Structure 1
């Protein structure tokens, strides 16, 4: 175990702009091409403030090399584990954007499947110098995978879970959608498009669907079904991977002031959990 406490407080400032074209490109991924828009849909800001580095600065997994803003944690596998967001004001098309990011915590944990590092990053997003979004992001780092020849995708179905469904909508994500989302977010992580790497290096049974893509599907579905609700807070946590060959369900239990959302595998297992708070 290494101590990375000196990295806590490390800051990074990024500049961008809310562009109508980038919003339309993401809308097309969700089958909403050229719907009228004057403000950025929730979670579309993940396609802004992209980390642009030279090709020579890319690590073996497709991410930028560590040791610049993020600490040089030696574990090679890294994933976006979840986020907690507060939406303060809308982001309007044409506004100048600024994001101030700061590492707020680094923890070493002994998980049930091995050692883990968790890095928490606070993001404060400003539009025309007014605070519009607060986000706390969790990044998990895992040790190298020991690959065996017995990769299995079989899981034991859960017994008739007792869940309240305001909606349950079947969905799937194919390789083209994975590529397009990776391209729109400038995400070079190979687990999303390089099948030999995903299976032979990281030990997955297929290509991994992006956590933020699943979170955005939850948000988009909720807003499609309840367009009049104003969302003030949103948080999500990845529980179990979704792969490109999976059929899954986008589910929600919606109440007056709050909602529970989740991604549910066809066998009943939960892949992602989310909570929303609506404006009163």
Structure 2
């Protein structure tokens, strides 16, 4: 497919702003989703990465595309490739987000580029989010979004090498996660994410050719960041991650970690599967 990259790069520098009051009720639902607990009163420090649940786009249902995403061509460039996923990103934490404060996000398109991959043409869009809590800098996030073509009917998408991938190693620390339908639905609801690959099993199998529902990239990143904080007893100052292959709800997956002193390497993997997401946390 021919992509007019010069046209798409015209979106570089485009900005969008959103804000939302963080309530104890939202923190309670966030904690319930991840089987965790934390203080819920105003002024209490909120869990890390809860900003992903705040100020999300609220396009009318009638304006959603067939995959459940908002129609393209507004803030994000109108990339003419139908499949869209989170490819990775990074978080630099500057200060806490507190319950009862208004969380604001200023998002800026930083780059748009096209490359040829094993699965064909790929378009990468980089977005930088500047997040504040009651006017105080809270974090800076880089988000990498990848678009690709649809596979031919009946053909499973190519997301990695054509040869059988090596099973991921088990970390010195490891925790097993059950990707239940309830967990995936709750996270989609928390983030107001209508992408059907996370909750619509017939769609993801019949239209996109995957064997099951796909575990959200942001949810994997949240689980790994929580795991890093649990193991160290303190939340990391920076957290970088990259998605390498999908995890489906057809089986359990694991969180893994290797503590290397100045930093911690973490990864997710389905049982006997390849590394799905790799991350580095630093304090």
Give the TM-score normalised by structure 2.
Answer: 0.91
Alignment of 1:86-165 (within 5 A): 86-148=92-154, 156=164, 158=166, 161=169, 165=171
User: Contact conserved, 2:151 with 2:209, CA < 8 A, in 1?
Assistant: yes
Most deviating of 132-141 and 89-98: 89-98
Q: Are residues 1:274 and 2:279 paired?
A: yes
Report how far residue 137 of structure 1 moved.
Answer: 0.3
1:133/1:187 CA distance change after superposition, 3 Å: same
Question: Which position in structure 2 is the counterpart of 1:238?
Answer: 243
User: Contact conserved, 1:9 with 1:103, CA < 8 A, in 2?
Assistant: yes
Q: How many residues align structurally?
A: 272
- Supply the distance in 2 between the matched residues of 1:174 and 1:85 (Cα, whole angstroms): 27
Deviations 1:8-42 (A, max 9, x none): 01100111122211111010011125x32411211
Q: Are residues 1:45 and 2:51 paired?
A: yes
Question: Secondary structure at the residue paired with 1:180?
Answer: helix
- Supply the distance in 2 between the matched residues of 1:82 and 1:149 (Cα, whole angstroms): 25
- Supply the distance in 1 between the matched residues of 2:134 and 2:178 (Cα, whole angstroms): 38
Most deviating of 249-258 and 117-126: 249-258
Q: Are residues 1:36 and 2:15 paired?
A: no
1:151/1:88 CA distance change after superposition, 3 Å: closer
Deviations 1:107-155 (A, max 9, x none): 0010111100000001001112121110110000011221227799xx9
Q: Are residues 1:11 and 2:19 paired?
A: no
1:21/1:139 CA distance change after superposition, 3 Å: same
Q: Are residues 1:182 and 2:182 paired?
A: no
Question: Which position in structure 2 is the counterpart of 1:214?
Answer: 220
- Supply the distance in 1 between the matched residues of 2:205 and 2:156 (Cα, whole angstroms): 11
User: Contact conserved, 1:207 with 1:244, CA < 8 A, in 2?
Assistant: yes
Superposition misfits of 4+ residues, deviation over 3 angstroms = 149-152
Report how far residue 246 of structure 1 moved.
Answer: 1.9
Question: Which position in structure 1 is the counterpart of 2:174?
Answer: 168
Question: Secondary structure at the residue paired with 2:4?
Answer: coil
CA RMSD of aligned residues (A): 1.9
User: Contact conserved, 2:151 with 2:157, CA < 8 A, in 1?
Assistant: no
Question: Which position in structure 1 is the counterpart of 2:86?
Answer: 80
Most deviating of 267-276 and 101-110: 267-276
- Supply the distance in 1 between the matched residues of 2:155 and 2:26 (Cα, whole angstroms): 42
User: Contact conserved, 1:190 with 1:197, CA < 8 A, in 2?
Assistant: yes
Unmatched 5+ stretches in structure 2:
none
Question: Secondary structure at the residue paired with 2:257?
Answer: strand
Report how far residue 166 of structure 1 moved.
Answer: 3.1
1:267/1:89 CA distance change after superposition, 3 Å: same
Match 2:198 to one of 192, 196, 204: 192
User: Contact conserved, 1:14 with 1:98, CA < 8 A, in 2?
Assistant: yes
